[in-house]
Structure 1
Amino acid sequence: MFMQLFQWYKTRFSDPNLSVLFLLLLFSFTVIYFFGNILTPLFVAIILAYLLDWPVTYLMRYKIHRTVATLIVMILFVSMSLFAFLGVLPTIFRQAASFARDLPTMLNQGQDYILTLPTHYPEAIDPITITHLIDTIKSYLLDSGGFLLSQSFASLLNIAALLVYAVLVPLMMVFMLKDKNQLIDSMAKFLPENRKLAVQVWAEMNGQIMNYIRGKITEILIVGVATYFTFFFMDLRYSALLALLVGLSVLIPYIGAAAVTVPVAVVALFQWGVSPEFAYLMIAYGIIQTLDGNVIVPILFSEAVNLHPVVIIVSVLVFGGLWGFWGVFFAIPLATLVKAVLNAWPSVQVENDQLASDKMDLIN
């Protein structure tokens, strides 16, 4: 058995470039897995730096120095962020507080409706089953409420850390954008010499990650804003809060859209009941989801590597389980990375076999 493992290792890792690529990937995954929470501000800064690198590069085309372009872009970014925090978030917080106050009434109305089902459909629904179902839902909501309350207190205790991150992240972004080339050259000095394959994979993934981050944030803004105006003009309660949930749901392909449909339908149902208004809202919401999946996503991610939906869902589950939010956010790029490495692996082996064959022909 050990001989088979040794033979497999010798066959697959005979190329030193391939060994370096494997070790770099193993080191990166290990660092992120064990130190992901500590490095969260760094991840946020890197993502935002990827997002803002395009406008910085665009300004440099007009003979503007990179430092000046970075300062212009960062001033605009900080101004827009302050506007969002001071203008949009208070509305979302007010609607969240209103939703929390109205939730017991909504639950009581739902409970009363469910209890009437055995009366209307005595042959199809068992009253005992309904009672157990209501008790289970209550228990789940109480447990969830306690968990959210504990998380809220934990967040209040970490408010000092959030204030530090609010200063630290923009500062790191400035240096990442201003000194981009110097940082890349400095990091390259610590890499092993046999890094040809690693550089090749990184060059391919760098462009894809950049396009993915820009596309995903653009998709969140488009879907969130379109949903907000739709809910606002149809006079749906908690329109800003629900629009935020719908916008963030695009982070989780397929699963997010299905999950966020539940609160939208529940709020509309308790506001209007089974009525034409409820039907119109769900039709409008369905149109938004259809346009997102069939128009917005193909346009924004036209350069992305084609992945099967099953692969995407499995990637979300695996990487989300390993690294939480960041695993979910980067599930598609990570799946693309795995695919790129697997595609490069056999090609390296075939190339080595071809070189060995040519060498034998020369000897003969």
Structure 2
Amino acid sequence: MLSILSSWYKERFSDPQAVTLVLILVGLALVIYFAGDLLAPLLVALVLAFLLEWPVAQMARVGISRTPAASLVLFLFIGLMLMLCFGLVPSIWRQGVSLIGDLPSMIDKGLYTAQQYVNQYPQFINPNQLDTMVAELKKLLDTEHILDIGKQLLGYSASLLVLMVYAILVPLLVFFFLKDKDLLISGSKRFFPSNRDLARKVWSEMDQQIFNYIRGKVIEIVIIGVVSYAFFALMDLRYAALLGVLTGLSVLIPYVGATLVTLPIALVAFFQWGVSSEFGYLMLGYGIIQALDGNLLVPILFSDAVDLHPVFIIAAVLIFGGLWGVWGVFFAIPLASLVKAVINAWPVREPLPNNTGS
């Protein structure tokens, strides 16, 4: 056993470049895992600066210096975010509060319909199991319990100190990251080992892939959200803006997000129309949107950015989402692509020929 492990170690880690790559990846992962909450504003600023680097670089190519380019790009980005916050968030907030208030009635209507089916087809559904499920569901969706959760979320979101830190510190950090990019990169190189050619090779492969993925994901969120809202509004579905936003954000979690957001859409439609032709048309249209997203939009947007099997994508979402929460879910595919790039670039020493038989 020891000889097998020794042979495997010499084959995989005989190259100093590989050891350097492992140390860099493990070091960065440990910093993010243990100090992620403390460094959250810095990490958010890094992500935003990475996304905004492309327009700044394009402006620099036409002769505009980085300082005014970074200022203009950041100003436009902040303006866009303010328009979204003051134009879209209040409407979504009102619909969310209204949905929480109507949720007990929706649950009661759904349970009443389920009870009718149980009474009609007792050979397929056990009434005792339904009663147990109803009791647990009512306990989970108790009005006071929902209000307590809402108050906790409101308390977290309204933390004045956190809002001030993110509203002031993050844009400032993004500006300096964009303006002094080359200076900061050259200064940070002293903290990394000198033999980092393999790490540089992996990063050069991942740089464009990560940018393409994030850009494509933002475009996908906007397209799916807008199309879903337009369809829900055309069908006169209640909470159309809220459900449209949820449908757009559901694409952040591949395969799983669409499944999770289907339940509230079906529940709201059933509460509004019952088992009717409108309910069937809505679910059919929603299914078409999801099918077009998976079979048309995703291949177009991510043809050069993602080359992973669905099993590995789902595993990446579960693993990185469990480690880093929402950010882990959002970057699950780029992180999985990083793991794949490391595996592909990993140097392997050729085994020595066995001359004992001569």
Same fold? TM cut 0.5: yes
2:97 maps to 1:97: yes
- Using the TM superposition, give the Cα deviation of residue 154 of structure 1 relative to its aligned residue in structure 2, in angstroms: 4.5
1:118 is aligned to 118
- Using the TM superposition, give the Cα deviation of residue 60 of structure 1 relative to its aligned residue in structure 2, in angstroms: 2.4
2:55 is aligned to 55
2:14 maps to 1:17: no
Amino acid at match of 2:126: D
SS of equivalent residue, structure 1 residue 237: coil
SS of equivalent residue, structure 2 residue 203: helix
SS of equivalent residue, structure 2 residue 141: helix
Output the CA distance in 2 between the equivalents of 1:299 and 1:180: 31
- Using the TM superposition, give the Cα deviation of residue 149 of structure 1 relative to its aligned residue in structure 2, in angstroms: 3.9
Output the CA distance in 2 between the equivalents of 1:187 and 1:309: 36
Q: 1:126 to 1:3 in 2, by over 3 A?
A: closer
8 A Cα contact 2:55 2:73, kept in partner: yes
2:324 maps to 1:339: no
Output the CA distance in 2 between the equivalents of 1:336 and 1:67: 33
Amino acid at match of 1:283: L
- Using the TM superposition, give the Cα deviation of residue 198 of structure 1 relative to its aligned residue in structure 2, in angstroms: 0.7
- Using the TM superposition, give the Cα deviation of residue 145 of structure 1 relative to its aligned residue in structure 2, in angstroms: 2.9
- Using the TM superposition, give the Cα deviation of residue 147 of structure 1 relative to its aligned residue in structure 2, in angstroms: 6.9
Output the CA distance in 2 between the equivalents of 1:298 and 1:126: 44
1:218 is aligned to 219
1:362 is aligned to none
Calculate percent identity across the aligned residue pairs. 52
Amino acid at match of 1:288: I
1:329 is aligned to 330
- Using the TM superposition, give the Cα deviation of residue 289 of structure 1 relative to its aligned residue in structure 2, in angstroms: 1.1
1:179 is aligned to 180
Output the CA distance in 1 between the equivalents of 2:287 and 2:201: 41
- After superposition, residues 142-153 of structure 1 pair within 5 angstroms as 142=142, 145=146, 148-149=149-150, 151-152=152-153
Q: 1:229 to 1:167 in 2, by over 3 A?
A: same
Amino acid at match of 1:325: V
Q: TM-score, normalised by structure 1?
A: 0.90
1:253 is aligned to 254
1:294 is aligned to 295
Amino acid at match of 2:38: I
2:356 is aligned to none
- Using the TM superposition, give the Cα deviation of residue 23 of structure 1 relative to its aligned residue in structure 2, in angstroms: 0.7
8 A Cα contact 1:50 1:213, kept in partner: no
Amino acid at match of 2:122: P
- Using the TM superposition, give the Cα deviation of residue 158 of structure 1 relative to its aligned residue in structure 2, in angstroms: 2.8
2:193 maps to 1:192: yes
Amino acid at match of 1:244: V
1:244 is aligned to 245
- After superposition, residues 10-49 of structure 1 pair within 5 angstroms as 10-49=10-49
SS of equivalent residue, structure 2 residue 305: coil
8 A Cα contact 1:41 1:165, kept in partner: yes
Listed as ranges, the gaps of 5+ residues in structure 1 are 358-364
SS of equivalent residue, structure 2 residue 37: coil
2:275 maps to 1:274: yes
- Using the TM superposition, give the Cα deviation of residue 172 of structure 1 relative to its aligned residue in structure 2, in angstroms: 1.0
8 A Cα contact 1:231 1:239, kept in partner: yes
Listed as ranges, the gaps of 5+ residues in structure 2 are 354-358
SS of equivalent residue, structure 2 residue 123: coil
The count of corresponding residues between Structure 1 and Structure 2 is: 352
Amino acid at match of 2:159: N
Q: TM-score, normalised by structure 2?
A: 0.92
Q: 1:275 to 1:247 in 2, by over 3 A?
A: same
2:286 is aligned to 285
SS of equivalent residue, structure 1 residue 282: helix
Output the CA distance in 2 between the equivalents of 1:313 and 1:66: 39
Give the RMSD, CA atoms, in angstroms.
2.1
Amino acid at match of 1:98: S
SS of equivalent residue, structure 1 residue 122: coil
